[in-house]
Structure 1
Amino acid sequence: MLPKESRIHTGADFRAVTRAGSRAGSATLVAHLWVDPAGGPRRAGFVVSRAVGNAVVRNRVRRRLRHLVREHLLVLPDSGMLVVRALPASASAPSAVLERDLLKTLDRVCR
């Protein structure tokens, strides 16, 4: 699990990242990255819509993504805020595919 200080909590932060940040997508997810000019810790948030599946499936996808992002949080720039949006294909994707897609999108948005 991500520590509390590493999570995005407010809707305003989610909106800022998705509107002003850079974006990269893959078959299973879309990553948005924004560097907060005010500074702060690296933070991550997740968006898993009903299109992914029922509540059980959405929570499973969110847990898998949270685990992967926790391992790669240090890849983000200082005060970077990351929002990972799961696409419907993420529900049936194996963890290796999710990790590959996450690393690919992180590499593209961190450039």
Structure 2
Amino acid sequence: MVLHYLSERPEQSGGGPVSDAHASSTVPPPGARAGFVVGKAVGNSVVRHRVTRRLRAVVREELHRLPGSADLVVRARPEAGTASSDVLRRDLTAGLDRLLGSGVTRS
């Protein structure tokens, strides 16, 4: 798995067309966000959706570690198609430890 991390979300410019009068005043919900990229190399549609669901559950448990303005993109490698949730959790935790500079080692 590959993690792409943006610690500070860029300001949104109001350059696009607004279809609703309230849309320009709405603020995105606070908190860290996560996105997933699970390509065809991981497996067929059923496998890709299973990996996405597992990754979503694993990331949900670790999202509190990120600043509220952070964006995280998790890109699944082909090995994720056969990996268990425990392996995905271990890899995500190790990746976040490296990204966030946490010296905590987990087993």
Interval containing the TM-score (normalised by the shorter chain) = 0.7 to 0.9
Give the whole-Å Cα distance in 1 for the aligned partners of 2:98 and 2:10. 20
Runs in 1 of length 4+ with deviation above 2 angstroms? 37-41
Q: Give TM-score, length-normalised by structure 2.
A: 0.72
Q: Give TM-score, length-normalised by structure 1.
A: 0.70
Q: How much has 1:37 moved relative to structure 2? A: 4.6
Question: Which structure's CA Rg is the greater one?
Answer: 2
User: Of Structure 1 and Structure 2, which has the larger fraction of its residues in helix?
Assistant: 1
Q: Which runs of 5+ in 2 are unaligned?
A: 12-27, 102-107
User: Of Structure 1 and Structure 2, which has the larger fraction of its residues in strand?
Assistant: 1
Letter paired with 1:107: D
Alignment partner of 1:69 is 2:59: yes
**Contact 2:31–2:67 (Cα < 8 Å) also in 1:** no
Q: Percent identity?
A: 54
Alignment partner of 1:91 is 2:81: yes
**Which of these residues, 68, 71, 93, is aligned with residue 78 of structure 1?**
68
The aligned length equals: 83
Q: CA RMSD in A?
A: 1.5
